[in-house]
Structure 1
Amino acid sequence: MGLLPPYYLWLPRKIKKILLYRFLFATLLCSWLDYQMLTIFVSVNLFELRRPLDSLTEILGWTLFSVYSSVLLILIRLSTMGFGLVLCHIHYVTPRCFRYNLLRISYEFPIRFWLISSILSTTIASSWLYASFVDLNNGNYLLGGSWYYLMTFGCFCGISYYHKSHERSLRRFPLPIVHLNMMECLLQIWCHHFKSSAKAAFVPTILFALIYWPTMGLLDTTELGGVSTGCFVIITQPQRLFQAWLLATLILAKLHIVRELYGLIMQRPLSLICDLRDLHEYIDISLFNLIWERFQYFICIMRMKPMPINAQRYNLSLPIAMALDTAEIYGFQLLAARDFYAAMSGSLCNKLFEKQFGQRNRYWNEVRDVIMGMLDRFLARMESCLEPAPRIKVSHLLKNKNPKKPGIRSLVKPTPPPRRLCATCRCFPSCQPPQKTWCFCNLRIYLYDRIQSCRNALWDILPVVPQYYSFLYELDPLANLNHELRCGEPLVWILQGLVTMCVRYLKEDKFYYIQNDLERIVVYLLKVEEKLIAAKEMQVRGKLCSSHDHFMMAINRCIYKILFTFGPHLDLIIDDYKLRDTFRRRMELLP
């Protein structure tokens, strides 16, 4: 249990099983991808038109029935699983606040270490497996053959992928705006990344060959003539360039596709239902039974038969309140908020309104309490970040600030700083200036001035040093504010879903029980807007993150929906006359 992250241990059992099931399913898809990659590489290198049946038999033997290939494929799967675990950790972990970049670098160092280790282990094992089939037929071992060349080039491809995809920042999985069919998504991902990887692998293949083969020729002969031998290999053996290009294409495509696969599966839409969370809090689903049920479902689809009724016991549905109340796992809460907004725009809102009065009231109260609690915590954190600076006393300003215009004397007589003198300095007569006296104090001042001048000269000679220093230690005055905005980004979707529910209740709700909370919802919207405007005024001190723009767009959309829908009914809905006046003034500004 110590190897698991804390946010996973705090989750309800049902959410744990959902995440574990999705991770295993994504890993299974990556395993099928390994067989596809191996089949492509082996077919290109071993297939011969003169003996097609023998070639196909040999290809199937090396791909499916070889102990050597199976062992290396297990190593590749373990490395791929480690790569997926690191990607999932980056996605689900809660954002951290870093006052300066050195803290961020020190926090990300172990994550980046495991990330590049998993990438390199995947590329090394894949290169080892692919390079084993290069010299089986008509092997040419000039300058060490192609095995070392492909192994080295595979590691180079892994480092190049890390440099291009993960160097600047650790990115989460993108949030799906529209959920498409899974088979269409898989086919689109496969084709897109193979085409892009084939184009991206062309230039590195040429450059690496121009460096590797002349260097190997020089090391093999220890003479300059070895360079010409390496160039001769490049010109006379283009199949080595083709094999390296194919290897780079497969490795780059696999690394990109693996990330897309884990993002696609882990970000699949959640099955939200209108139910009480207490009924699902301690439900423990057997993972084996769940996988067996999914396998039966797949078999029934292939046979075009309905699923047996007695087998439909294990489902992955979640109550709305349970899915939204997952602040400890940020990526999952963001997905739940997005699905909540989509559900309130779809049929789930109709199911809520179709419930009986007593049941529906309990469901609504539970969802409302979760959302209002999130809003209270968000507003409290924003208030702590937006606290005004303490006012400076006037006397302090008069004492410490010089007059802006010359010729105007200060209102307070400046007091000279006390001079610290040693016992030797106090012994000299007052007529003799202490600066011309050889004592310990003057020597200390002299050495301090010399050190400062040397440091400034070194600073001018090495301009890179202050740049790196400012990059690592420059404080971000809006770090806490941006951190709270990122942590509260699920509210961007939750507020829109909540307002959508309020808008639909006007036509579909027969009991009007949401009306009692409508004024409270409107007050929360205005409070959030007030905090966002105050945060925008602090932009002169630094740069706000993109979450602020998302919040502003969402809150404006929510307020305008409320105004357009409930504008004619303000007197019946809102009792506070100040709030009614505020909304009337806002309605006058509408086009």
Structure 2
Amino acid sequence: MLEEKVETTGYVPQYFLSLPRKIKKLLLYRFLFATLLCSWLDYQMLAIFLCINLFEVRRPLVSLNEIMGWTLFSVYTSIIMLFIRLSMVGYGLILCHVHYASPRWYKYKLLKIVNEFPIRICLFSWILSTTVVSSWLYASFVDLVDENYSLGGSWYYLMTFGCFCGTSYFHKHHGRCLKRFPLPIVHIDMKESLLQIWCNHLKCSGKEAFAPTLLYALIYWPYMGYLETTEFGGVITGFTVIITQPTRLFQGWLLYTFILAKLSIVREVYGLIMQRQLSLINDSRRLHEYLDINLFNMIVERFQYFICMMQMKPMPLDVQRYNLSLPIAMALDSAEIYGFQLLASRDFYAAMSGNLCSELFKQQCFKRNQNWNELCDVILEMADDFIARMESCLETAPRIKVCNLLKKQVPKKSQLRSLVKPTPALRRLSSICRGPPQCRTPEQIWCACNLRKYLHDRILGHWNRLWLRLPAIPRYYNFFYDIDPLAKLNHELRCGEPLVWALQGLVCICVRSLKEDIFGYIQGDLCRILTCLLKVEEKLITAEEMQVRERGKLCSSHDLLMLAINRCLYKMLFTFGPHLDYIVDNMQLVEKFKRRMEMIP
């Protein structure tokens, strides 16, 4: 079956268009589900904010009825919530793009800042729009009750404070570097995870909001008092507002807490849902590569399942159930979308340590061999690509071009030495300046050319002295323009980080095949796997030598890869060491492996 020609658009990234359809639908479904959870979060926070500010103890039922009406059954709230959701969707899209996009490398810092500037601007715009619209919604309800409009009232204070909150959040969490979603160490139940995220971030945001709220109030209210009266007495009025009206300070603290908690929880929720454990199966990728699933029907089916679960009834038999399980080879062969490949390799290693490996050996002969060949080829191709990219980075000297080997034909000089010393040609000095190209006046004679040269030398000398006396300027210049000799090497190490889990999962299959592979089919590929592991280890050791030579610093991916390779080689040699003569045909490789076995404690 021929592949369809994919047309790119200006709104969808290229890496998403090149994915198989099933992976596309899986990512879209997870993104929509995370967006739905974040929408419920807005209503929850608005209800808490209104209960704290508008609840009256004397008439509790009437207050709750008004709060429910303003929260769920208000046209104004629904319209504002629509804008908040749009901003949140944009924020989530940028977060997912940062997570799934492949790593890029830059020679120096300034080039990285320039290339990441559009993404940072989009991220800051969506964060700021979310905080502005949320502040508008909260401030409008506060303005209904607060009838004190001195120094601009509470509405303008909460609006500006919301903008300050969004700016400070962006500077703290996204200002230095763009971070991906962290890999889950342990997969916990989703309900428990959501409750834990909600409680932890709300508590931490409340503690973190004290200092910014007090600092902003000490700046805002005296400044507004000075603007209103244009006298120094207005500053005292501003401080009086802070002391005599603590309600405004409390409202600002509450607004900062909710906005900070919302932005943090949204990022955690998207990371939790997009990084959920994949459902991997032992099946051929050809059967699932062009399988298309209707996303709307799948959402309807999940909604019916939710209703039946709430009613404690079984699902009807006539309802079609959609399965988003992915073949292992398809999930791992997704180098275009880096974040997904990292998650797939992590889940592959966890699955091969469990029951999925036993299911592979229990399959029928033809199906098992086909699935194993696809899986082994995908992982070894990943390793071969990584080795090839590392070789291009670890070249000690550039290749000699053919054109440099061709010497120019220069006429040979006479071998006879003259008996008379040749006299140099007399240089005729003229006192007349004939312009920069033909000026030959001596330096003692003042002319326009000599004056220009003299001024240039003097200015350059003073500038060099000034440059050395200002240590901050060279420091910033070096920070932005210093070329990192290990930048490309670190980039390739980051791109090869999925091998940390993929190779360990492959080794788990090989180790368990000694007892569970009855027909010994996997043993034919053990030599390839051992050779590949040895090559990867050699490249990583060479990278360490280059680090010492260049006096640079390798990224953390090198340590992870080195640790994973050591584990893989230890397991393979410990398991198959006594049988190396039957597995490996090359005697030189056998000697290498035996020397490597001597290093095992």
- TM-score over 0.5 (shorter chain): yes
Counterparts of 1:523-562 in structure 2, within 5 Å, are: 523-540=531-548, 541=550, 542-562=552-572
Q: Is 1:184–2:184 an aligned residue pair? A: no
Q: Is 1:576–2:586 an aligned residue pair? A: yes
For 2:508 and 2:452, how far apart are their aligned partners in 1?
72
Q: What displacement does 1:144 show?
A: 1.6
Counterparts of 1:469-484 in structure 2, within 5 Å, are: 469-484=477-492
- Conserved 8 A contact 2:128-2:163: yes
Cα deviation, 1:323-352, whole Å, max 9, x if unaligned, reads 111111110111111111111111111111
For 1:448 and 1:221, how far apart are their aligned partners in 2?
55
Q: 1:252 aligns to what?
A: 260
Q: What displacement does 1:381 show?
A: 0.6
Match of 1:222 among 206, 220, 230: 230
Q: Is 1:566–2:576 an aligned residue pair? A: yes
Q: Which amino acid aligns with 2:530?
A: V
- Conserved 8 A contact 1:154-1:247: yes
Q: Is 1:94–2:107 an aligned residue pair? A: no
Q: What displacement does 1:376 show?
A: 1.3
Change (3 A) 1:247 1:138: closer
Cα deviation, 1:183-226, whole Å, max 9, x if unaligned, reads 01000000000000000001111111111111111111111111
Change (3 A) 1:247 1:422: farther
Change (3 A) 1:273 1:310: farther
Match of 2:156 among 125, 148, 154: 148
Match of 2:595 among 573, 578, 585: 585
Cα deviation, 1:119-169, whole Å, max 9, x if unaligned, reads 000000000000111132352212121110111111111111111111110
For 2:427 and 2:23, how far apart are their aligned partners in 1?
71
Change (3 A) 1:124 1:357: same
Q: What displacement does 1:283 show?
A: 1.2
Matched residue SS, 1:145:
helix
Q: What displacement does 1:302 show?
A: 2.0
Q: Which amino acid aligns with 1:354?
A: K
- Conserved 8 A contact 1:30-1:258: yes
Q: What displacement does 1:493 show?
A: 0.7
Q: 1:498 aligns to what?
A: 506
Match of 1:262 among 245, 254, 270: 270
- Conserved 8 A contact 1:525-1:559: yes
Q: 1:352 aligns to what?
A: 360
Counterparts of 1:13-412 in structure 2, within 5 Å, are: 13-389=21-397
For 1:552 and 1:500, how far apart are their aligned partners in 2?
17
Q: What displacement does 1:435 show?
A: 5.2
For 2:431 and 2:537, how far apart are their aligned partners in 1?
65
For 2:371 and 2:450, how far apart are their aligned partners in 1?
79
For 1:328 and 1:87, how far apart are their aligned partners in 2?
17
Change (3 A) 1:517 1:391: closer
Change (3 A) 1:424 1:321: farther
Q: How many residues of Structure 1 are paired with residues of Structure 2 in the alignment?
A: 561
Which runs of no fewer than 5 residues in structure 1 stay unpaired?
393-418
Matched residue SS, 2:280:
strand
For 1:422 and 1:230, how far apart are their aligned partners in 2?
82
Q: Which amino acid aligns with 1:587?
A: M
Q: What displacement does 1:442 show?
A: 5.2
Q: What displacement does 1:440 show?
A: 7.4
Q: Which amino acid aligns with 1:575?
A: D
- Conserved 8 A contact 1:273-1:319: yes
Q: What displacement does 1:12 show?
A: 1.0
Q: Is 1:518–2:518 an aligned residue pair? A: no
Q: What displacement does 1:455 show?
A: 1.9
For 2:442 and 2:463, how far apart are their aligned partners in 1?
27
Matched residue SS, 1:361:
helix
Q: What displacement does 1:437 show?
A: 5.5
Change (3 A) 1:346 1:308: farther
Please tell me the root mean square deviation across aligned C-alpha atoms, in Å. Answer: 2.2
Q: Which amino acid aligns with 2:585?
A: D
- Conserved 8 A contact 1:422-1:441: no
Matched residue SS, 1:132:
helix
Q: What displacement does 1:441 show?
A: 7.0
Q: What displacement does 1:423 show?
A: 7.4
Q: What displacement does 1:518 show?
A: 0.3
- Conserved 8 A contact 1:274-1:348: yes
For 2:92 and 2:498, how far apart are their aligned partners in 1?
24
Change (3 A) 1:448 1:18: same
For 2:153 and 2:520, how far apart are their aligned partners in 1?
79
- Conserved 8 A contact 1:425-1:439: no
Q: What displacement does 1:472 show?
A: 1.4
Q: State the 4+ residue runs in structure 1 displaced beyond 6 angstroms.
A: 425-428
Q: What displacement does 1:443 show?
A: 5.0
Cα deviation, 1:340-379, whole Å, max 9, x if unaligned, reads 1111111111111111111111111111111121111111
Q: What displacement does 1:577 show?
A: 2.0
- Conserved 8 A contact 1:424-1:439: no
- Conserved 8 A contact 1:357-1:511: no
Matched residue SS, 1:381:
helix
For 2:558 and 2:477, how far apart are their aligned partners in 1?
29
- Conserved 8 A contact 2:31-2:274: yes
Change (3 A) 1:59 1:565: same
For 2:319 and 2:188, how far apart are their aligned partners in 1?
27
TM-score between the two structures when normalised by the length of structure 2: 0.90
Q: What displacement does 1:468 show?
A: 2.0
TM-score between the two structures when normalised by the length of structure 1: 0.91
Counterparts of 1:440-455 in structure 2, within 5 Å, are: 445-455=453-463
Change (3 A) 1:11 1:59: same
Counterparts of 1:5-16 in structure 2, within 5 Å, are: 5-16=13-24
Q: Which amino acid aligns with 2:238?
A: G
Change (3 A) 1:433 1:380: same
Q: 1:456 aligns to what?
A: 464
Q: Which amino acid aligns with 1:382?
A: M
Q: What displacement does 1:582 show?
A: 1.9
Cα deviation, 1:421-458, whole Å, max 9, x if unaligned, reads 99757999xxx995546577755653442232132133
Q: What displacement does 1:574 show?
A: 2.2
Q: Which amino acid aligns with 2:565?
A: I
Which runs of no fewer than 5 residues in structure 2 stay unpaired?
1-8, 401-423, 434-439
Cα deviation, 1:478-505, whole Å, max 9, x if unaligned, reads 1111111111111111011111111111
For 1:309 and 1:502, how far apart are their aligned partners in 2?
41
